[in-house]
Amino acid sequence: MRKLANLSIVVSAALLGACATGGATTSGNLMVEEKVSINAPANKVWAKVGNFGDLGAFHPAVAKTEITSGTNNTQGAVRLLTLQDGGTIKEALTAYNAGGMSYSYVINEGVLPVSNYSSTIQVKSTGATSSEVIWKGNFNRKDLSATPAKGQDDEAATGTIHAVYRGGLDNLKKITE
């Protein structure tokens, strides 16, 4: 009987929570990770990846990168990406580790179908003449309603980020090998 009473309390709390949010549910935290092995030393690959102020150095979708606030490669720097199609994305650097060949950033605003986006890109040495690049991100879909608009659901969010990462990593491999 006590278990039934506890279950009733849990169900009631869940229903109250749903009512408090208007019945809307939010997307779970989504995650994407892509990797590429490159036949080039890590320092050569990092020379392309490590400049927060020039994502276009390796990503073909980026026409222009501009540091709009702060100092490049320093926590708090803000970059504005202008994409080849004219769309823009504003990102802020949250961590930069030149020795560890990694940096982390968040998207503050932009055309991608994501929200609460944070990401890390890292270059790892796998030998004297080889490396691996890992790009991973956590985010929510842009439309957090119970019935998200087409193109702003979980599938669109993860598909877009997979494509962004793959496009950048595949081109990075091409230009550094």
Query: CATH number, domain at 38?
Result: 3.30.530.20
Strand partners, 121: 103, 135
- In the predicted model, residues of the chain with pLDDT beneath 70 are 1-28
Write down the pLDDT at residue 152.
86
Residue 114 lies in a domain: yes
> Exposed, middle or buried: residue 69 (CB in 10 Å: 0-12, 13-18, 19+)?
exposed
Residue 142 lies in a domain: yes
pTM, 2 dp:
0.83
137: helix, coil or strand?
A: strand
Range of the domain at 128: 28-176
Residue 108 lies in a domain: yes
Residue 8 lies in a domain: no
Write down the pLDDT at residue 28.
54
- Tally of domains in the chain: 1
